[in-house]
Chain A
Amino acid sequence: MDFEALWLTLRLAGCTTAILLVAGLPLSWWIASGHGARRALVQAVVALPLVLPPTVLGYYLLVAMGPLTAPGRFLMRLFGHPLAFSFSGLLVGSVLYSLPFAVQPLVAGFGAVDRGYVEAAEGLGSSPWRTFWRVVLPMSRASLLTSLVLAFTHTVGEFGVVLMLGGNIPGATRTLSISLYDLVQDGNYGAANRTALVLLGFAMVALLAIYLLPSLRKMDGRQADVVR
Protein backbone atom coordinates (compact mmCIF):
# COMPACT_ATOMS: atom_id res chain seq x y z
CA MET A 1 0.00 0.00 0.00
CA ASP A 2 1.08 3.55 -0.78
CA PHE A 3 1.42 5.23 2.62
CA GLU A 4 2.44 8.52 1.05
CA ALA A 5 -0.89 8.50 -0.82
CA LEU A 6 -2.76 7.64 2.41
CA TRP A 7 -1.15 10.56 4.25
CA LEU A 8 -1.86 12.92 1.33
CA THR A 9 -5.49 11.78 1.19
CA LEU A 10 -6.02 12.40 4.92
CA ARG A 11 -4.33 15.80 4.69
CA LEU A 12 -6.49 16.80 1.72
CA ALA A 13 -9.70 15.60 3.40
CA GLY A 14 -8.79 17.33 6.68
CA CYS A 15 -8.03 20.69 5.03
CA THR A 16 -11.14 20.44 2.83
CA THR A 17 -13.36 19.72 5.85
CA ALA A 18 -11.88 22.64 7.81
CA ILE A 19 -12.50 25.08 4.92
CA LEU A 20 -16.01 23.71 4.39
CA LEU A 21 -16.79 24.12 8.09
CA VAL A 22 -15.85 27.81 8.03
CA ALA A 23 -17.59 28.50 4.71
CA GLY A 24 -20.49 26.08 5.12
CA LEU A 25 -21.90 27.38 8.42
CA PRO A 26 -22.76 30.93 7.29
CA LEU A 27 -23.76 29.77 3.81
CA SER A 28 -26.11 27.09 5.19
CA TRP A 29 -27.62 29.45 7.75
CA TRP A 30 -28.27 32.03 5.04
CA ILE A 31 -29.92 29.44 2.80
CA ALA A 32 -32.00 28.03 5.66
CA SER A 33 -33.25 31.36 6.99
CA GLY A 34 -35.40 32.42 4.04
CA HIS A 35 -36.78 31.81 0.58
CA GLY A 36 -36.49 33.50 -2.78
CA ALA A 37 -34.92 33.35 -6.20
CA ARG A 38 -31.42 34.24 -5.01
CA ARG A 39 -31.37 31.46 -2.43
CA ALA A 40 -32.74 28.97 -4.96
CA LEU A 41 -29.95 29.87 -7.39
CA VAL A 42 -27.25 29.51 -4.73
CA GLN A 43 -28.72 26.18 -3.62
CA ALA A 44 -28.73 24.91 -7.20
CA VAL A 45 -25.08 25.93 -7.71
CA VAL A 46 -24.10 24.30 -4.40
CA ALA A 47 -25.88 21.08 -5.42
CA LEU A 48 -24.32 20.95 -8.92
CA PRO A 49 -21.43 18.60 -7.99
CA LEU A 50 -24.04 16.00 -6.96
CA VAL A 51 -25.21 15.53 -10.54
CA LEU A 52 -22.35 16.85 -12.67
CA PRO A 53 -19.71 14.37 -13.85
CA PRO A 54 -16.63 15.12 -11.71
CA THR A 55 -14.59 15.39 -14.89
CA VAL A 56 -16.67 18.40 -15.97
CA LEU A 57 -15.89 20.23 -12.73
CA GLY A 58 -12.25 19.17 -13.04
CA TYR A 59 -12.08 20.37 -16.63
CA TYR A 60 -13.44 23.84 -15.87
CA LEU A 61 -11.15 24.24 -12.89
CA LEU A 62 -8.18 23.10 -15.00
CA VAL A 63 -8.96 25.76 -17.59
CA ALA A 64 -9.75 28.44 -15.00
CA MET A 65 -6.52 27.86 -13.09
CA GLY A 66 -4.32 27.64 -16.16
CA PRO A 67 -2.51 30.43 -18.01
CA LEU A 68 -5.35 30.78 -20.56
CA THR A 69 -7.61 32.89 -18.28
CA ALA A 70 -7.12 36.12 -16.33
CA PRO A 71 -7.94 34.57 -12.91
CA GLY A 72 -5.61 31.71 -13.77
CA ARG A 73 -2.76 34.10 -14.56
CA PHE A 74 -3.51 36.02 -11.33
CA LEU A 75 -3.34 32.80 -9.31
CA MET A 76 -0.07 31.81 -11.00
CA ARG A 77 1.46 35.16 -10.05
CA LEU A 78 0.06 34.83 -6.49
CA PHE A 79 1.39 31.34 -5.86
CA GLY A 80 4.41 31.44 -8.14
CA HIS A 81 3.29 28.27 -9.92
CA PRO A 82 0.15 27.01 -11.67
CA LEU A 83 -2.49 25.84 -9.20
CA ALA A 84 -3.34 22.86 -11.34
CA PHE A 85 -1.22 19.78 -10.63
CA SER A 86 -0.51 21.02 -7.09
CA PHE A 87 -1.94 20.33 -3.63
CA SER A 88 -3.51 23.80 -3.40
CA GLY A 89 -5.30 23.28 -6.72
CA LEU A 90 -6.56 19.93 -5.53
CA LEU A 91 -7.82 21.59 -2.36
CA VAL A 92 -9.86 24.13 -4.35
CA GLY A 93 -11.37 21.31 -6.42
CA SER A 94 -12.16 19.22 -3.33
CA VAL A 95 -13.86 22.11 -1.55
CA LEU A 96 -16.18 22.70 -4.52
CA TYR A 97 -16.72 18.99 -5.08
CA SER A 98 -17.66 18.24 -1.44
CA LEU A 99 -19.58 21.49 -0.86
CA PRO A 100 -23.09 19.95 -1.19
CA PHE A 101 -22.18 17.18 1.24
CA ALA A 102 -21.26 19.76 3.87
CA VAL A 103 -24.03 22.27 3.16
CA GLN A 104 -27.09 20.08 2.64
CA PRO A 105 -27.16 18.37 6.07
CA LEU A 106 -26.64 21.77 7.72
CA VAL A 107 -29.46 23.39 5.74
CA ALA A 108 -31.76 20.51 6.72
CA GLY A 109 -30.64 20.74 10.37
CA PHE A 110 -31.03 24.53 10.62
CA GLY A 111 -34.36 24.33 8.82
CA ALA A 112 -35.61 21.81 11.39
CA VAL A 113 -34.94 24.20 14.29
CA ASP A 114 -38.32 25.79 15.00
CA ARG A 115 -38.27 29.54 14.24
CA GLY A 116 -40.01 29.97 17.59
CA TYR A 117 -36.68 29.31 19.35
CA VAL A 118 -34.98 32.06 17.33
CA GLU A 119 -37.82 34.42 18.21
CA ALA A 120 -37.64 33.43 21.88
CA ALA A 121 -33.92 34.29 21.89
CA GLU A 122 -34.45 37.62 20.10
CA GLY A 123 -37.26 38.46 22.53
CA LEU A 124 -34.63 38.11 25.29
CA GLY A 125 -32.34 40.62 23.57
CA SER A 126 -30.01 38.09 21.94
CA SER A 127 -28.28 39.29 18.75
CA PRO A 128 -28.57 37.12 15.61
CA TRP A 129 -24.88 36.18 15.99
CA ARG A 130 -25.31 35.00 19.61
CA THR A 131 -28.60 33.29 18.77
CA PHE A 132 -26.86 31.29 16.05
CA TRP A 133 -23.97 30.09 18.23
CA ARG A 134 -25.90 29.51 21.46
CA VAL A 135 -29.27 28.27 20.20
CA VAL A 136 -29.39 27.24 16.53
CA LEU A 137 -26.03 25.46 16.22
CA PRO A 138 -26.26 23.48 19.49
CA MET A 139 -29.76 22.41 18.47
CA SER A 140 -28.34 21.13 15.13
CA ARG A 141 -25.39 19.21 16.56
CA ALA A 142 -26.28 15.94 14.84
CA SER A 143 -26.50 17.71 11.48
CA LEU A 144 -23.13 19.37 12.06
CA LEU A 145 -21.56 15.98 12.77
CA THR A 146 -23.16 14.48 9.65
CA SER A 147 -21.94 17.42 7.59
CA LEU A 148 -18.33 17.08 8.78
CA VAL A 149 -18.19 13.30 8.39
CA LEU A 150 -19.73 13.40 4.90
CA ALA A 151 -17.44 16.21 3.73
CA PHE A 152 -14.37 14.33 4.96
CA THR A 153 -15.43 10.94 3.64
CA HIS A 154 -16.56 12.25 0.30
CA THR A 155 -13.21 14.00 -0.21
CA VAL A 156 -11.38 10.79 0.61
CA GLY A 157 -13.44 9.07 -2.07
CA GLU A 158 -13.07 11.58 -4.89
CA PHE A 159 -11.46 10.44 -8.12
CA GLY A 160 -12.57 12.26 -11.24
CA VAL A 161 -11.72 15.77 -10.11
CA VAL A 162 -8.31 14.67 -8.82
CA LEU A 163 -7.50 12.94 -12.06
CA MET A 164 -8.41 15.94 -14.21
CA LEU A 165 -6.96 18.60 -11.97
CA GLY A 166 -4.11 16.98 -10.13
CA GLY A 167 -2.79 14.28 -12.34
CA ASN A 168 -0.74 11.71 -10.51
CA ILE A 169 2.20 13.27 -8.70
CA PRO A 170 3.41 11.26 -5.69
CA GLY A 171 3.25 13.29 -2.47
CA ALA A 172 1.46 16.21 -4.13
CA THR A 173 -1.62 14.96 -5.95
CA ARG A 174 -1.62 11.15 -5.86
CA THR A 175 -4.45 10.24 -3.49
CA LEU A 176 -5.49 6.72 -2.43
CA SER A 177 -8.19 6.41 -5.08
CA ILE A 178 -5.68 7.35 -7.82
CA SER A 179 -3.13 4.97 -6.31
CA LEU A 180 -5.72 2.16 -6.49
CA TYR A 181 -6.34 2.91 -10.15
CA ASP A 182 -2.59 2.76 -10.81
CA LEU A 183 -2.18 -0.51 -8.94
CA VAL A 184 -4.92 -2.14 -11.00
CA GLN A 185 -3.39 -0.83 -14.23
CA ASP A 186 -0.10 -2.42 -13.17
CA GLY A 187 -1.82 -5.71 -12.33
CA ASN A 188 -0.70 -5.46 -8.69
CA TYR A 189 -3.86 -6.99 -7.27
CA GLY A 190 -2.47 -7.70 -3.79
CA ALA A 191 -1.74 -4.04 -3.08
CA ALA A 192 -4.92 -3.00 -4.90
CA ASN A 193 -6.93 -5.25 -2.58
CA ARG A 194 -5.39 -3.72 0.51
CA THR A 195 -5.97 -0.16 -0.75
CA ALA A 196 -9.59 -0.88 -1.69
CA LEU A 197 -10.19 -2.48 1.71
CA VAL A 198 -8.81 0.58 3.52
CA LEU A 199 -11.13 2.88 1.53
CA LEU A 200 -14.10 0.58 2.12
CA GLY A 201 -13.40 0.23 5.83
CA PHE A 202 -12.94 3.94 6.22
CA ALA A 203 -16.24 4.80 4.54
CA MET A 204 -18.06 2.16 6.58
CA VAL A 205 -16.69 3.42 9.93
CA ALA A 206 -17.55 7.01 9.05
CA LEU A 207 -21.14 6.14 8.14
CA LEU A 208 -21.51 4.04 11.28
CA ALA A 209 -20.40 7.04 13.31
CA ILE A 210 -23.25 9.05 11.81
CA TYR A 211 -25.90 6.41 12.38
CA LEU A 212 -24.65 5.22 15.77
CA LEU A 213 -25.07 8.48 17.64
CA PRO A 214 -28.78 8.64 18.43
CA SER A 215 -27.98 10.25 21.76
CA LEU A 216 -26.70 13.29 19.87
CA ARG A 217 -29.73 13.22 17.61
CA LYS A 218 -32.03 13.46 20.59
CA MET A 219 -30.62 16.92 21.21
CA ASP A 220 -32.04 18.16 17.91
CA GLY A 221 -34.81 20.72 18.22
CA ARG A 222 -37.48 18.73 16.43
CA GLN A 223 -37.05 15.81 18.83
CA ALA A 224 -36.81 17.78 22.04
CA ASP A 225 -39.89 19.80 21.20
CA VAL A 226 -42.24 16.83 20.90
CA VAL A 227 -43.96 17.42 24.23
CA ARG A 228 -44.97 21.02 23.79
Chain B
Amino acid sequence: MSGSLLTVKSDSLLTVKMEHRVGTVALNVSFALTQPWTVLFGPSGSGKTTVLRTIAGFVRPDAGRVVYGTDVLVDRETGVFVPAHERPVRSAGQAARLFPHMSVRTNVLFGSGWYSKPDEELELADQVLELFHLGGFAKRMPRDLSGGERQRVSIARTVVSAVTFGGPNTALLLLDEPFSGLDVALRDELLAELRDWLRRWKTPVLSVTHDVGEAFQLGAEVIKIADGRVVQQGPAGEVLAMERRRLMEQLQAGGMSLEA
Protein backbone atom coordinates (compact mmCIF):
# COMPACT_ATOMS: atom_id res chain seq x y z
CA MET B 1 0.00 0.00 0.00
CA SER B 2 0.96 3.62 -0.02
CA GLY B 3 2.71 3.37 3.36
CA SER B 4 5.32 0.90 2.09
CA LEU B 5 6.84 3.60 -0.11
CA LEU B 6 9.49 4.77 2.35
CA THR B 7 10.68 1.32 3.41
CA VAL B 8 11.66 0.21 -0.11
CA LYS B 9 13.53 3.42 -0.85
CA SER B 10 16.92 1.71 -0.68
CA ASP B 11 16.40 -0.42 -3.81
CA SER B 12 14.40 2.16 -5.79
CA LEU B 13 15.31 2.98 -9.39
CA LEU B 14 14.09 6.54 -9.36
CA THR B 15 13.05 8.88 -6.58
CA VAL B 16 11.08 12.01 -7.29
CA LYS B 17 10.20 14.70 -4.79
CA MET B 18 8.97 17.91 -6.31
CA GLU B 19 6.83 20.98 -5.85
CA HIS B 20 5.70 22.96 -8.84
CA ARG B 21 2.90 25.34 -9.76
CA VAL B 22 1.35 25.04 -13.21
CA GLY B 23 -1.72 27.17 -13.79
CA THR B 24 -4.19 26.35 -11.05
CA VAL B 25 -2.61 23.03 -10.06
CA ALA B 26 -0.10 23.09 -7.22
CA LEU B 27 1.92 19.92 -7.67
CA ASN B 28 3.44 18.40 -4.57
CA VAL B 29 4.44 14.82 -5.23
CA SER B 30 6.88 12.34 -3.81
CA PHE B 31 7.33 8.77 -4.98
CA ALA B 32 9.86 6.08 -5.79
CA LEU B 33 9.91 3.57 -8.65
CA THR B 34 10.67 -0.02 -7.70
CA GLN B 35 9.01 -2.04 -10.46
CA PRO B 36 10.09 -2.51 -14.09
CA TRP B 37 6.92 -0.79 -15.34
CA THR B 38 5.13 1.89 -13.37
CA VAL B 39 2.06 3.83 -14.47
CA LEU B 40 1.20 7.36 -13.38
CA PHE B 41 -2.57 7.36 -13.28
CA GLY B 42 -4.88 10.31 -12.85
CA PRO B 43 -7.52 12.50 -14.48
CA SER B 44 -6.48 15.09 -17.08
CA GLY B 45 -5.13 18.22 -15.45
CA SER B 46 -3.85 16.36 -12.41
CA GLY B 47 -0.23 17.14 -13.27
CA LYS B 48 0.95 13.74 -14.59
CA THR B 49 2.56 15.16 -17.71
CA THR B 50 4.38 17.84 -15.70
CA VAL B 51 5.90 15.15 -13.48
CA LEU B 52 7.07 13.24 -16.57
CA ARG B 53 8.47 16.40 -18.18
CA THR B 54 10.35 17.22 -14.98
CA ILE B 55 12.06 13.82 -15.01
CA ALA B 56 12.80 14.23 -18.74
CA GLY B 57 14.38 17.66 -18.17
CA PHE B 58 11.89 19.97 -19.87
CA VAL B 59 10.46 21.44 -16.65
CA ARG B 60 12.50 22.99 -13.86
CA PRO B 61 10.48 22.37 -10.69
CA ASP B 62 10.06 25.17 -8.14
CA ALA B 63 11.57 22.88 -5.52
CA GLY B 64 12.61 19.29 -5.19
CA ARG B 65 15.01 16.53 -6.16
CA VAL B 66 15.06 13.82 -8.84
CA VAL B 67 17.53 10.95 -8.51
CA TYR B 68 17.90 8.07 -10.96
CA GLY B 69 20.07 5.24 -9.64
CA THR B 70 23.08 7.16 -8.34
CA ASP B 71 22.65 10.11 -10.73
CA VAL B 72 21.20 13.30 -9.29
CA LEU B 73 19.24 14.81 -12.20
CA VAL B 74 17.65 17.72 -10.35
CA ASP B 75 18.35 19.22 -6.96
CA ARG B 76 17.01 22.73 -6.50
CA GLU B 77 18.85 23.14 -3.19
CA THR B 78 22.32 22.48 -4.57
CA GLY B 79 21.40 23.93 -7.99
CA VAL B 80 21.90 20.70 -9.94
CA PHE B 81 19.98 20.58 -13.21
CA VAL B 82 21.21 18.12 -15.83
CA PRO B 83 20.12 19.20 -19.34
CA ALA B 84 17.53 16.92 -20.97
CA HIS B 85 19.86 15.49 -23.62
CA GLU B 86 22.50 14.49 -21.03
CA ARG B 87 20.10 12.54 -18.81
CA PRO B 88 20.00 8.73 -18.80
CA VAL B 89 16.34 9.14 -19.72
CA ARG B 90 14.54 8.71 -23.05
CA SER B 91 11.12 10.24 -23.51
CA ALA B 92 8.25 10.38 -26.00
CA GLY B 93 5.65 13.12 -25.67
CA GLN B 94 1.94 12.86 -26.35
CA ALA B 95 2.25 14.22 -29.91
CA ALA B 96 4.28 12.05 -32.27
CA ARG B 97 6.65 14.76 -33.66
CA LEU B 98 8.27 12.57 -36.29
CA PHE B 99 10.96 14.50 -38.16
CA PRO B 100 9.16 15.17 -41.47
CA HIS B 101 12.30 15.06 -43.65
CA MET B 102 13.38 11.59 -42.49
CA SER B 103 12.02 8.16 -43.39
CA VAL B 104 10.45 5.99 -40.70
CA ARG B 105 13.69 4.03 -40.33
CA THR B 106 15.86 7.15 -40.05
CA ASN B 107 13.44 8.52 -37.49
CA VAL B 108 13.59 5.29 -35.49
CA LEU B 109 17.40 5.35 -35.53
CA PHE B 110 17.69 9.08 -34.73
CA GLY B 111 18.38 8.55 -31.03
CA SER B 112 20.28 5.29 -31.37
CA GLY B 113 23.47 4.94 -29.37
CA TRP B 114 24.77 2.18 -31.64
CA TYR B 115 26.02 4.36 -34.50
CA SER B 116 29.35 2.50 -34.35
CA LYS B 117 27.52 -0.78 -35.07
CA PRO B 118 25.47 -0.02 -38.20
CA ASP B 119 24.46 -3.62 -38.91
CA GLU B 120 23.16 -4.36 -35.41
CA GLU B 121 21.49 -0.96 -35.40
CA LEU B 122 19.55 -1.67 -38.59
CA GLU B 123 18.56 -5.10 -37.37
CA LEU B 124 17.29 -3.64 -34.11
CA ALA B 125 15.29 -0.97 -35.94
CA ASP B 126 13.57 -3.60 -38.07
CA GLN B 127 12.94 -5.74 -35.01
CA VAL B 128 11.30 -2.87 -33.12
CA LEU B 129 9.24 -1.82 -36.14
CA GLU B 130 8.06 -5.41 -36.40
CA LEU B 131 7.16 -5.36 -32.71
CA PHE B 132 4.94 -2.34 -33.34
CA HIS B 133 3.28 -3.95 -36.39
CA LEU B 134 5.08 -1.54 -38.72
CA GLY B 135 7.09 -4.14 -40.62
CA GLY B 136 6.68 -2.74 -44.15
CA PHE B 137 6.93 0.91 -43.12
CA ALA B 138 10.70 1.46 -42.86
CA LYS B 139 11.09 3.44 -46.08
CA ARG B 140 7.89 5.48 -45.83
CA MET B 141 7.85 9.17 -44.98
CA PRO B 142 5.91 10.48 -41.94
CA ARG B 143 3.47 12.41 -44.17
CA ASP B 144 2.30 9.08 -45.66
CA LEU B 145 1.33 7.62 -42.27
CA SER B 146 -1.93 7.76 -40.35
CA GLY B 147 -2.09 9.37 -36.90
CA GLY B 148 -1.98 6.03 -35.11
CA GLU B 149 0.97 4.83 -37.21
CA ARG B 150 2.92 7.98 -36.41
CA GLN B 151 2.28 7.49 -32.75
CA ARG B 152 3.63 3.94 -32.91
CA VAL B 153 6.74 5.09 -34.83
CA SER B 154 7.31 7.74 -32.16
CA ILE B 155 7.21 5.14 -29.37
CA ALA B 156 9.41 2.77 -31.43
CA ARG B 157 11.95 5.59 -31.88
CA THR B 158 12.13 6.23 -28.14
CA VAL B 159 12.33 2.51 -27.34
CA VAL B 160 15.31 2.09 -29.72
CA SER B 161 17.02 5.09 -28.17
CA ALA B 162 16.48 3.70 -24.66
CA VAL B 163 17.75 0.15 -25.27
CA THR B 164 20.83 1.38 -27.20
CA PHE B 165 21.72 3.88 -24.48
CA GLY B 166 25.50 3.99 -24.17
CA GLY B 167 25.91 4.99 -20.52
CA PRO B 168 26.98 2.71 -17.68
CA ASN B 169 23.38 2.07 -16.59
CA THR B 170 20.20 1.36 -18.51
CA ALA B 171 18.13 4.36 -19.51
CA LEU B 172 14.72 5.11 -18.05
CA LEU B 173 11.93 5.12 -20.63
CA LEU B 174 9.22 7.78 -20.22
CA LEU B 175 6.02 7.41 -22.26
CA ASP B 176 3.21 9.98 -22.12
CA GLU B 177 -0.11 8.38 -23.06
CA PRO B 178 1.73 6.08 -25.48
CA PHE B 179 -1.24 4.31 -27.07
CA SER B 180 -4.10 6.66 -26.34
CA GLY B 181 -5.41 6.92 -29.90
CA LEU B 182 -5.28 3.21 -30.78
CA ASP B 183 -8.15 0.74 -30.74
CA VAL B 184 -8.27 -1.39 -27.60
CA ALA B 185 -7.40 -4.76 -29.19
CA LEU B 186 -4.25 -3.44 -30.88
CA ARG B 187 -3.29 -1.46 -27.78
CA ASP B 188 -3.53 -4.51 -25.51
CA GLU B 189 -1.47 -6.60 -27.90
CA LEU B 190 1.25 -3.95 -28.29
CA LEU B 191 1.43 -3.25 -24.56
CA ALA B 192 1.90 -6.93 -23.70
CA GLU B 193 4.58 -7.43 -26.38
CA LEU B 194 6.38 -4.23 -25.49
CA ARG B 195 6.39 -5.10 -21.78
CA ASP B 196 7.92 -8.53 -22.39
CA TRP B 197 10.41 -7.17 -24.86
CA LEU B 198 11.58 -4.34 -22.57
CA ARG B 199 11.90 -6.78 -19.68
CA ARG B 200 14.49 -8.68 -21.72
CA TRP B 201 16.41 -5.44 -22.22
CA LYS B 202 16.04 -4.59 -18.50
CA THR B 203 14.71 -1.15 -19.42
CA PRO B 204 12.49 0.40 -16.72
CA VAL B 205 9.42 2.33 -17.82
CA LEU B 206 7.34 5.12 -16.34
CA SER B 207 4.24 5.81 -18.41
CA VAL B 208 1.31 8.15 -18.02
CA THR B 209 -2.31 7.25 -18.62
CA HIS B 210 -5.84 8.13 -17.65
CA ASP B 211 -7.09 4.81 -19.04
CA VAL B 212 -7.97 2.17 -16.42
CA GLY B 213 -7.85 -0.63 -18.99
CA GLU B 214 -4.28 0.21 -19.97
CA ALA B 215 -3.08 0.11 -16.37
CA PHE B 216 -4.75 -3.25 -15.82
CA GLN B 217 -3.49 -4.73 -19.05
CA LEU B 218 0.10 -4.07 -17.98
CA GLY B 219 -0.35 -5.52 -14.52
CA ALA B 220 1.95 -2.71 -13.55
CA GLU B 221 2.64 -0.78 -10.38
CA VAL B 222 0.29 2.21 -10.30
CA ILE B 223 0.86 5.63 -8.77
CA LYS B 224 -2.45 7.44 -8.52
CA ILE B 225 -2.34 11.22 -8.71
CA ALA B 226 -5.22 13.57 -7.94
CA ASP B 227 -5.15 17.37 -7.54
CA GLY B 228 -1.37 17.44 -7.76
CA ARG B 229 -0.73 14.86 -5.03
CA VAL B 230 0.07 11.14 -4.88
CA VAL B 231 -2.94 9.52 -3.26
CA GLN B 232 -1.94 5.86 -3.55
CA GLN B 233 0.78 3.57 -4.89
CA GLY B 234 0.68 -0.18 -5.40
CA PRO B 235 -0.37 -2.99 -7.78
CA ALA B 236 -3.04 -2.04 -10.34
CA GLY B 237 -5.58 -4.44 -8.82
CA GLU B 238 -5.40 -2.68 -5.46
CA VAL B 239 -5.03 0.94 -6.44
CA LEU B 240 -7.59 0.94 -9.22
CA ALA B 241 -10.20 -1.36 -7.65
CA MET B 242 -12.73 1.44 -7.35
CA GLU B 243 -12.17 2.71 -10.90
CA ARG B 244 -12.55 -0.84 -12.16
CA ARG B 245 -15.83 -1.38 -10.36
CA ARG B 246 -17.20 1.91 -11.71
CA LEU B 247 -16.12 0.97 -15.22
CA MET B 248 -17.81 -2.42 -14.96
CA GLU B 249 -21.02 -0.80 -13.74
CA GLN B 250 -20.92 1.62 -16.65
CA LEU B 251 -20.40 -1.23 -19.09
CA GLN B 252 -23.27 -3.16 -17.58
CA ALA B 253 -25.57 -0.15 -17.66
CA GLY B 254 -24.57 0.45 -21.27
CA GLY B 255 -25.25 -3.19 -22.13
CA MET B 256 -28.71 -3.07 -20.63
CA SER B 257 -29.67 0.10 -22.43
CA LEU B 258 -28.62 -1.55 -25.67
CA GLU B 259 -30.79 -4.57 -24.95
CA ALA B 260 -33.83 -2.47 -24.11
Chain A partners chain B: yes
Which A residues have a C-beta under 8 Å from some C-beta of B?
A: 114, 116-117, 119-128, 131, 134-135, 138-139, 141, 219, 221, 224-225, 227-228
Indicate if the CB atoms of B95 and A126 lie closer than 8 Å.
no
Query: Any chain A CB within 8 A of the CB of B131?
Result: no
Query: Any chain A CB within 8 A of the CB of B135?
Result: no
Indicate if the CB atoms of A128 and B97 lie closer than 8 Å.
no
Distance between Cα atoms of A225 and B97 in the complex (Å): 8
Nearest B residue to A130, CB-CB: B85
Contacts of B90 in A (CB 8 A): 123-125
16 residue pairs A–B, Cβ–Cβ below 8 Å: A116-B95, A116-B97, A119-B58, A120-B99, A121-B85, A121-B111, A122-B83, A123-B89, A125-B90, A125-B111, A126-B85, A139-B101, A219-B101, A224-B142, A228-B96, A228-B150
Distance between Cα atoms of A228 and B91 in the complex (Å): 19
Indicate if the CB atoms of B110 and A123 lie closer than 8 Å.
no
Query: Any chain A CB within 8 A of the CB of B113?
Result: yes
Query: Any chain A CB within 8 A of the CB of B57?
Result: yes
Distance between Cα atoms of A127 and B86 in the complex (Å): 8
Give 3 closest A-B pairs by Cβ, nearest first.
A124-B111, A224-B100, A123-B91
Interface size, chain B (Cβ < 8 Å) = 30
Query: Any chain A CB within 8 A of the CB of B84?
Result: yes
Q: A119-B58, A125-B90, A128-B85 are in contact. Are A139 and B100 (CB under 8 A)?
A: yes
Query: Any chain A CB within 8 A of the CB of B179?
Result: no
CB interface residues, B 47-105, toward A, < 8 Å:
56-58, 83-85, 89-93, 95-97, 99-101
Indicate if the CB atoms of A227 and B110 lie closer than 8 Å.
no
Indicate if the CB atoms of B143 and A224 lie closer than 8 Å.
yes
Indicate if the CB atoms of A119 and B93 lie closer than 8 Å.
yes
Nearest-neighbour CB distance to chain A for B124, whole angstroms, equals 15
Nearest B residue to A121, CB-CB: B110
Instruction: Determine which residue in A128, A131, A135 has the highest number of CB atoms from chain B within 10 A of its CB, and name it.
Output: A135
